[in-house]
Amino acid sequence: MTDRKIRILMAKLGDGFETAMMKLASAFSEAGFEVIYTDLQEPEAIVSAALQESVDHIGITTLPGADISKFSSIFELLKKENVPDIKVTAGGFLDESEIPRIKEMGVVEFFPKGTTYAELIQWAKENIKHLD
C-alpha cells in the first residue's frame, strides 16, 4: 500500500458559490487531503473525473436550484463502472425533506449549510478510507 493522500473529488449541483467551494477545497488540502475540484455538474462528467483521478471519495455541494435526481444517476454510473467503494457525501442547501431521499439513493452523509470546515474534515478523517 502506498503512502498517498486520500483523494477527494469535489463537485457541485446548482449554480454559484465558486469562492466558497474554493475555500472548502483549500481547507481540505491544508488538512492533508488531495482535492480535485470540478465545476462540471453532469453525472457522467463527475463519475468520469472520479475514475480518471482515482479518487477515494466524492463530495458534492448542493446549491439552490440543484437537481437532486442527478445523485441517482451518479450512483448508477459508479455501479456500472464497478466502483461502488467510492462513497458520496453531500452538503449545502437542500430542503430537509429531500435529505432522506438522497440518502436512499446512496449518499452516506449530508452536511447542512453552516457545518464548519473542522466538522467536515473530522468526519472525512474518520470515515474516508483509501480504496487501494
Q: Note the pTM of the prediction, 2 decimals.
A: 0.92
The DSSP symbol for 81 reads T
The CATH code that applies to domain 7-126 is: 3.40.50.280
Rounded distance, CA 25 to CA 23, Å? 5
What confidence tier does 1 reach under pLDDT thresholds 50, 70, 90? very low
Helix and strand totals (H; E) in the chain:
5, 5
Cell numbers for 63: 446549491
Q: Give the model confidence (pLDDT) of 75-105 as tens digits.
A: 999 999 999 889 999 999 898 899 999 999 9
* Pairwise pLDDT comparison (15 vs 95), residue with the higher score: 95
pLDDT, mean of residues 44-70: 93
Cell numbers describing residue 66: 440543484
Q: What is the pLDDT of residue 132?
A: 62
- Single-letter amino acid, residue 27: A
Q: What is the DSSP letter of 102?
A: H
Q: Extract the C-alpha cell encoding 62.
A: 448542493
Name residue, grid cell 456500472.
Answer: 80
